[in-house]
Every structure is written in C-alpha cells, then in structure tokens.
Amino acid sequence: MLKSTKQISIEQDYSEQYSKSQHSFLPIVFLLTMVCAFFVLDAVLPLQDLMFSDALLAHLGSWPLLPAHILFPRFPVVQMRIDKHVPAMVMLIRSWKETGLLFGVFLVLFGLYLLALRFLPRAITFRYIMISTLLLGIICVLIPVVTSSDVYSYIAYARMGVIYHLNPLTAIPLQIGADPVFRHLYWTRQPSIYGPTWIAITYFLQWLALSFGLPGILSMLLALRLFGLAMHLGSTLLIWSISGHLQLRSGFITPEKRLRATLAFAWNPLLLFEACVNAHVDVAILFFVLLAIWFLVRGLQTTPQGGDAQRVMVQVAAMLAIATCLKLNVILLALGLLLFLWTQPGKIGKILMFTATYSGIIVLLYLPFWQRGALLHTFQNTPAASQNINTLPDFLARLYNALAADFGQHVGAPDLQSPSVNVTHILSTSIFVIIFAVLCWRAIRMPESINSIPGLIRWLALVWLLYCAVGSPWFWPWYLVTFFGLYALIEATSVWPFNFLRLSLVMRILTFSMLSLYCFYTWAPLRSSVPGLPGFLWTEFRGLYVWMVPFLVMLLMPYLGVVYSLQTRKLAETRWQELWAFLSRSIQPLRNPPQL
C-alpha cells in the first residue's frame, strides 16, 4: 500500500528532527566520555610503581590525588613513602597491573578520540572545539605527575638566570646545587640546549611568579603548564584560520573537513599531554611556525607585490627566527621557505629580505649569551649530538652490542660510548642529509611542487616527519608536535601526494604509538634482559615499536580498503543511525529477557 504525501512529509520531518536531536546530543556525550577518560588517566598516572615524577601538586592539598584514591584506594601513589620491605615479586605484579592499566587507558582514550573524529564534525562548531579543548586541557594541567623531567630543567634554567644571575646557555645546574629544584633534575651537567626565546619566556614567567610572592617550584610548574595550554589553544586557532584562508583560495569550501582537521589537532591526546602535563617547548615552536604561515597566507592573499610584500617577508622571517631560537632544528623549515621564495615573482628581493631579517634576529637574540664563544661548546656537547634513544638506530646499536657480547667481543659501554652507537648515529643522520638534499633538489627542478602555500606545507610536513624518523637518532614523542600541526593543515585542505596510503588513519596510529611509548618506561621487565642476549633489555624494543606499528598499519591498509571505501560512502547521519540501531538491538535482550 502506497504511503500518502502527508505521511511521507511527516516521516521526513521526524527524520530531520531525529537527526538534529542526535547531533545536539553527540557533542555532550563525547565531551563527557573524554572527560571521564582523562579522569581515569589522572587516577592511573600517580600510581607509585609506574615511577613517574611528582609534579608537587599535593602541596596544594590532597584533592589532586582524589581520582587515584577513589578508583584505586589500595594502591600506593607517587607521593607516598616507598615501602622498602615489600617483596620483589609483589612489586613486579604491581608493575604489570599498573602498566596494563596505563596502556588500557591510553587505548580507551585513543578509541574515543577516533570515534569523536568520525561522528562529531557534522555536529559541532569551532566554538565547541575551543571550549572543550580548554576543559580537557585544564584537567591535564591538574594531573599530579610528569612523565618527563624536562619541565624541571626549564625551571632550573630560569632560576639560574633570574635568581642566581648565571648564563643558562653556558652554566650547568650543578652550580645551583643548593636550590630546591636541583633534586628533581636529570640533566645536572648539561647547559640549556634551548635558545634565547625560551630563556626569555621562562625568565618572564619566573619573574612574574616572584612578583606575586610565589618563589616555589610549584608556581613555576603550573605557569609552564598553563602557558603550554595557551600555546595549544593558539595553535588550534591558527589552524582554523589558516585552513579557512587556504580553502577560500582554492575555491573548495568544505566546513566538515576543516572542523575534522581542527578537532583532530585540538583533541589529540598526545598533544594535550605534552602541552599541559609535560609543558614541552615544542608546543611553543609549533605556535610560532603556524604564525609564520598565517602571516604568509594572509600577506600573499592581500599584498602579493610591492613594499607590502617585503613587510610580509619581515613578519614571516621574524616568526621563524623566534621559533629557531627555541630550537635550532627549525632551520630545516626556514630552508623550505627559501625554496618557496625561489619560485615566486621578485624572488631576489624577497630572499634577501627574508635572509637578512631571519639571520639578524637570531644573531641579536643569541648575542647576550655568547660569552666569548663558550656557547659553541654547548651546541657540540648536547645528548642529541652523539646518543641514540627511542629510534631504530638505538634498537640496532643495542642489538648489535648484545650479539657481539654473545660471541665474547668487548664493545665498550653498553649504552652511550660504544662504536655501534656512534656508527648508527652517524649513518642515520647521513641518510637524512641525503634525503633532505634530494628533496631540495627536487623542489628546485620541479618548482610546481612547492610554489604554492599548500605545496610548501606538504614539503615542510614531510621534511619534519623524516627528520623525526631518520634524522634524529635521539628522539622523544613530543618532537612530532610540529608535524601534527602541519598535517592538520594538510588534512583540512585535502591535499597530500600519497592519498592511496590512507594517511589519516596512519597518522592517528602514529599518535597512539607515541603516546603508548611511555609504557616501555613503566612495565615490569624494564631491567630484564632478553634470553640469550646479555645486556639487551626487553624495553629496548621501544625504538622498533613506535615506528613499526604505524608502518604495519600502512602496509595492511590495502586489505582494508574495500571495507573502508564502503563505510566512507555513507552519510554521517546514516552511519550514526546504523550504530544507534545496532546498540538498540544489543540491549533489547536485556530489556525483554526470554521466558523459560
């Protein structure tokens, strides 16, 4: 029997109202679930056998540890005195349990993140992204531990300059051994490897804390965390603005892609963690890099020629110079800007203006810390210049040392000074230099690959990813912060030369592998050797794990391509309705149990 026109209209109105109600319901549900996931993470991280460093928030009262006490009332937390009488087997079992909990929380958090990216972009606004990210960031700021002690190094270098009037780029923390921050440091004989921009930022925060009568370490730690949150929110705003300008220039306005890319960056668990918990300097680096791109996009859109173009070059060069004075490896991105300018009209004048401004600002910022050339000694003796960690060179060097020891060959110190470490370090760096030279040569020979801003962003993202994977044998997860910011711009504009690899999913998996790397520093066999390989610890597989997991997913993507393509052809409302129907069918037997 055919339906009447009125009946069809009523059903369509009901369907539209149902879709809108689901759209208004979804953002609240996902935000609440993400808040709960971060609450559980807040409860797991302080557990004592994970051995993370205390963030000193317990000085404010017992409430920062409330999540741990609620969910795990019988577990000792990091602030408690370690019981030396606990049997080793009990500590081993605790370590397995707590590491399993940590990995499980990371997995749940990552799963919710993926679901949010799938269902939310059609139901949210940019305002929702900013407010929700602020809320999640504040929860992270209040986590009572840090998983990296770098934040204490930031505080120590700031106190060296503001309180003790030492040059943190040449002096070492041992010179302030009586300061209360000293016992929290890992690098006690290393001058600051961070540039004058970061020194100025931390100086200001330390001066501000002292001005308000807050001389303690906790006030500075909270200031750095809040600064990291501000930088993350600023980068989110810049990604939203830049992607809007790029879509407008290309003529393809796709709000859903723009929202998805911005949400993927803003809610990225790794980025929130490194910005608001560990307060790493890389969050500030990304902000200034994005600010340089923002000046470039807006400047070329409104003033492509003339004296105003020179002003744009000064602005871009100034932002990149400030970023370089946070960490010197940003020079790689500055070289990309030079290649981009080489393809533009009036290239000579623009290149000269950019180079003069960029180099001049760097010289002026470093000049007060030069100290008769002592600064050069700091650059030559950083851990990243000669050591390996969390990379394939690290894994291969340690594996070679273990195999050599099996055959009775003496290879020197097992970790830092062995010839295999030096060889793999130099080899990895050399491979990156060759690849980087090829990319530069290709950009010169094929200017169409880099003569547009989307092409420039693709080039910068690829170079930074290769630098992290190959060119930096000394690697930590927060080094990828800059890459994820650049990739968000690529995702928003749907321009990437390797679409067949489904890079969006691979990049999500890369986020999870980097976040779960912390589990290798907490699990039970942390100091246990692999049978038959003396000196090769189980935890040394971390360098293989962080990069191989995304690579394996990339290899398996062709087998999942058919399923993926079928799913992506459906409308968002259809996908949500099918999920809702599946959940309804699943709980129906519970509502109406069968009669016996």
Q: Specify which residues 53 forms β-bridges with.
A: 146
Q: What span, in angstroms and rounded, lies between the C-alpha atoms of 455 and 453?
A: 5
Task: Return the HEC string of 64-92.
Answer: HHHHHHHHCCCCCECCCCCCCCCCHHHHH
Residue type (1 letter), 110:
F
Instruction: Indicate left, alpha or beta for 51 from its phi (over 0: left) and psi (-120 to 50: alpha).
Output: left
Q: What span, in angstroms and rounded, lies between the C-alpha atoms of 305 and 245?
A: 19
Question: What is the mean pLDDT of the segment spanning 380-402?
Answer: 86
Q: What span, in angstroms and rounded, lies between the C-alpha atoms of 399 and 406?
A: 11
- Please write the tens of the pLDDT for every residue from 449-500: 899 999 999 999 999 999 999 999 999 999 999 999 999 999 998 654 444 3
pLDDT of residue 534: 76
Checking if the pLDDT of 33 tops 90, the result is yes
CB 472 within 8 A of CB 479: yes
pLDDT of residue 556: 78
Checking if the pLDDT of 570 tops 80, the result is no
Global pTM value = 0.88
∠ CA 260-262-264, rounded to 5°? 65
pLDDT of residue 94: 76
Checking if the pLDDT of 175 tops 90, the result is yes
Question: What is the mean pLDDT of the segment spanning 387-401?
Answer: 90
Q: How many Å is the Cα radius of gyration of the chain?
A: 26
Question: What is the mean pLDDT of the segment spanning 338-366?
Answer: 93
Q: What span, in angstroms and rounded, lies between the C-alpha atoms of 250 and 454?
A: 10
pLDDT of residue 403: 85
Q: What span, in angstroms and rounded, lies between the C-alpha atoms of 56 and 455?
A: 45
- Please write the tens of the pLDDT for every residue from 517-538: 999 888 666 667 788 787 788 8
- Please write the tens of the pLDDT for every residue from 370-390: 887 777 777 677 888 888 999
Higher pLDDT, 315 or 583: 315
Q: What span, in angstroms and rounded, lies between the C-alpha atoms of 125 and 469?
A: 34
Pair of tokens at residue 65: 């540890």
pLDDT of residue 385: 80
Question: What is the mean pLDDT of the segment spanning 39-61?
Answer: 91
CB 52 within 8 A of CB 147: yes
CB 570 within 8 A of CB 118: no
pLDDT of residue 213: 92
Checking if the pLDDT of 332 tops 60, the result is yes
pLDDT of residue 590: 40
Pair of tokens at residue 581: 């129907």
pLDDT of residue 566: 40
Higher pLDDT, 70 or 49: 70
pLDDT of residue 116: 95
Higher pLDDT, 460 or 410: 460
Q: Specify which residues 474 forms β-bridges with.
A: 389
Question: What is the mean pLDDT of the segment spanning 333-361?
Answer: 94
pLDDT of residue 571: 47
Question: What is the mean pLDDT of the segment spanning 209-228?
Answer: 95
- The average confidence (pLDDT) of the chain is 85
Burial of 258-269, coded b for 16+ CB within 10 Å and e otherwise, reads bbbbbbbbbbbb
Checking if the pLDDT of 150 tops 80, the result is yes
pLDDT of residue 463: 96
- Please write the tens of the pLDDT for every residue from 536-564: 888 889 999 999 988 888 777 766 554 44
Q: Specify which residues 77 forms β-bridges with.
A: 47
Q: Rounded to 5 degrees, what are φ and ψ at 146?
A: -125, 140
Question: Could you write out the DSSP letters of every residue in 313-372?
Answer: HHHHHHHHHHHHTT-GGGHHHHHHHHHHHHTSTTHHHHHHHHHHHHHHHHHHHHGGG-TT
- Please write the tens of the pLDDT for every residue from 73-116: 988 888 666 655 666 666 677 778 889 999 999 999 999 999 99
